[in-house]
Amino acid sequence: MTGLPPFSRHRAHAGLLAACALGALAAGCKSEPAATGAIEISDYRARHPIVLADGTRSLDVFPTGVGHLDPRQTADVDAFMLEYRRYGRGTLLMEVPRGVPPAQAEAVARTVAALGRLGAQDRVSAREIAVTGYAVAAPSLAAPIRLSFQRMQAKVSDACGLWPNDTGTSNFALDYNNRPMWNLGCATQSTVAAQIADPVDLVRGRPEGRIDTVKRVRDIGQLREGKDPSTAWRQDGQTDVKSQVGQ
């Protein structure tokens, strides 16, 4: 049996080395995806985002026996009607208590009439008010006339006060991960959402208002004369800031 010539063996070894080199280069080009575990969201603003949703605005008006509302409730109704005119969707619902004692039925009717007059004064017509009734559960308790309407509100997408994870030490991997509890920050987000008067401000900014033409003309004139157009005022407790700015 004869082996391969030395030259042939050299070529075979060279080809094997070339194949190994190409395989190593190909292996170096292969990329493995980074395997990472699920990371819990630690930012409370991401866990409890503020969203825009339709909500119910309501006001309880308690009947009076004199045929008109007291100043406190009158101011409340005026503010409620103004909010309905600006942001209300659909009709204004007025729920009148049914089944009240006979001595209070007349006071309820007079209060309903007073609410109608206040609505007309606040430019809320009778066509925009839908009157319905609700059964009184306990006649001995105060039964208010409920005003309500739908409007867009800013609110937290999740309900606060939920604790899906154990706050104790039942799970070592979960309890010692140095991450905040899921409920943390929900109350803060709810408070911020409740302070937003117009939810559309969360979506886009407001357009620029009109310029103060009088002040601009005066400032340009002072610049042309080489004077300082800035307003000089000081708060000394005796001079009103508004009067200083208006000078």
229: number of Cβ within 10 Å: 13
The domains located in the chain, with CATH, are 52-156 (3.30.1330.60)
92 DSSP β-pair partners? 129
Segment 86-102 shows an average pLDDT of 92
| Average pLDDT across the chain, whole number | 82
Q: What tokens does 127 get?
A: 């066509």
Least-confidence region, from 51-60, 115-124, 162-171: 162-171
CA distances from 38 to 81, 84, 164, 221, 227 (A): 49, 45, 17, 64, 64
Please say if the pLDDT value at position 9 is more than 60. Answer: no
Q: Is the pLDDT of residue 239 over 80?
A: no
Q: 58-83: b or e for each residue (b if 16 or more CB lie within 10 Å)?
A: ebebebeeeeebeeebeebbeebbee
- Of 8, 111, 105, 127, the residue nearest 68 (C-alpha): 111
CA distances from 126 to 93, 113, 121, 122, 190 (A): 11, 11, 11, 11, 35
| High-pLDDT (> 70) share of the chain, % | 72
Q: What is the mean pLDDT of residues 90-119?
A: 92
The answer to whether the beta carbons of residues 112 and 94 sit under 8 Å apart is yes
pLDDT at 25: 60
Q: What is the pLDDT of residue 66?
A: 72
Measured distance CA(68)–CA(105) in Å, rounded: 15
